[in-house]
Chains A and B, each alone.
Chain A
Amino acid sequence: MEQIIEQFPVVLKALNIGFLQTLKLFFVTLIGAFPLGLVIAFGSMSRFKPLSVATKLIVWVIRGTPLMIQLLIIYYFPGLVLHHPIWGGGETGRFLAASVSFILNYACYFSEIYRGGIQGVPVGQKEAGLVLGMTKTQIFYHVTLLQMIKRIVPPMSNEIITLVKDTSLARIIALQEVIWAGQAFMKGSQGISGAIWPLFFTAVYYLIFNGILTVLLGRLEKKLDYFK
């Protein structure tokens, strides 16, 4: 116990740095996957058959395989198989590869959520707008958009919470996120070795961050509760 108190400041500092990397990956993934997911959703709903089939195939493959494998392939494939490393070395390269993998993976999940939200709004809503002389743009902004958002928020919240935990998978390509930082104290780092508690302690970071997200997303959901 005494030892832990002694180690605490050093460990906390290292974990904070690791968690910063976790957060970076989390936000970069969201910023990339929100719009890309929408593009994929429109692709899969396209009336141009080749486009919709190709998009659905990609979504099926990405959703049907573990993110961990996608990470490994995207990180190692260019260098080891094509002999043409594209990610560059070091932490920057790993972060870039992880970001691309996460954005692609999450965009596919988001696309399905968008699709459900868009197709979930009854056609009657659009027709009611048309009959009232509204333009298609007016109908989108004033009638259907908010109804889509209301349908999208709950499943999107689930994915966002999952993403927080999924960022730990980037550890597989040695991205120095919070779990990597915790594990370092087992192997030995900054004069501390054989300590397992820092690794366990990383769970606290996830819990606190997910707690905050749950409250915020819950509030958003509640805000949209005024209509059904």
Chain B
Amino acid sequence: MPILEVEHIQKYFDRTEVLKDISFSLEKGQVLSIIGSSGSGKTTLLRCLNFLERPDKGIIRVKGETLFDAGDPATQQEAEIRKKRLHFGLVFQSFHLFPQYTALGNVMLAKELLAKGQPGYDARKKQAHKEIEEQAKELLQQMGLSDRMENYPHQLSGGQCQRVAIARALALQPDILCFDEPTSALDPELTGEVLKVMRELAEQNTTMVIVTHEMAFARDVASQVIFMDDGHILEQGDPRQVFENPKEERTRQFLSRFTQG
């Protein structure tokens, strides 16, 4: 059974149809790369998965459980949606770190707030805090940021910020981690360090949906590629096939922009 199933998602902004009948599925431990030109709906799709936007039609299922069904209001209750979000993580293009917390604080905050809501928290407050801190430190270490834990975001480079953001998303152990052009806001010399940690995550079989313009990276890391065009999935398949042998003329045109110069 796929870990993620998306069926016939449609999304309108006012009267513009931004997502047009999007369907795909993803197996656990696999990486899906989404490519496509600006305005094709990639960000909107990720925002739908994370319930920042509500699709007008369609179904989202994780591990067989229907998290969202546009036709079933019972799946759209606010309090439930908050819990459902935890199946997904999202790394934004421009990080959105919390400026008043250190790198470590950024990674710990949500997990601590979540722990506070659980029964019996007060009794084991110290213990819980320690566990969360340990886990956060481990994640930052994994991101190569051992010596940056006490720094505030404004003291970090873009690449470091994005790695903190990845650790922050991982702290909640999402089933599926989404990335929206994680290196697009970075200076070219800083993209490498972010792609490196993402590559490592892929090697550890983290299930990921990655929107990116890094074609070489997408080809190497992805198990599946989707090419989006004007709200449609125009082409979908094995990265080899999509990159080396695209079926559609539009895909060919799009890719040629990245291989030339």
Residues in chain A within 8 A of chain B (CB atoms): 122, 124-125, 127-135, 138, 142-143, 146-147, 150, 226-228
Contact of A134 with B100 in the complex, beta carbons under 8 Å = no
Residues in chain B within 8 A of chain A (CB atoms): 50-52, 82-83, 85-86, 88-90, 92, 94, 96-100, 109-110, 113-114, 152-154, 168-169, 172
Contact of B94 with A133 in the complex, beta carbons under 8 Å = no
Report 29 cross-chain contacts, Cβ distance below 8 Å, ordered by A residue: A122-B96, A124-B94, A127-B92, A127-B96, A128-B96, A128-B97, A128-B98, A129-B110, A130-B85, A131-B89, A131-B169, A132-B168, A132-B169, A132-B172, A133-B82, A133-B83, A133-B85, A133-B110, A134-B110, A135-B82, A143-B98, A147-B100, A150-B100, A226-B100, A226-B152, A227-B100, A227-B152, A227-B154, A228-B153
* A127-B52, A228-B154 given; A147·B99 CB < 8 A: yes
- Report chain B residues within 8 Å CB of A127: 52, 92, 96
* A142-B113, A143-B98, A147-B99 given; A128·B92 CB < 8 A: yes
* A125-B96, A142-B109, A227-B99 given; A131·B85 CB < 8 A: yes
Contact of B100 with A132 in the complex, beta carbons under 8 Å = no
State in angstroms the CA–CA spacing of A227 and B97 once bound together.
12
Complex: chain B residue closest to A143, CB-CB: B98
Contact of B96 with A130 in the complex, beta carbons under 8 Å = no
- Report chain B residues within 8 Å CB of A130: 50-52, 82, 85
State in angstroms the CA–CA spacing of A147 and B99 once bound together.
8
Contact of B52 with A133 in the complex, beta carbons under 8 Å = no
- Report chain B residues within 8 Å CB of A133: 82-83, 85-86, 110, 114, 172
- Give A220 Cβ to nearest chain B Cβ, in Å: 15
Complex: chain B residue closest to A224, CB-CB: B100
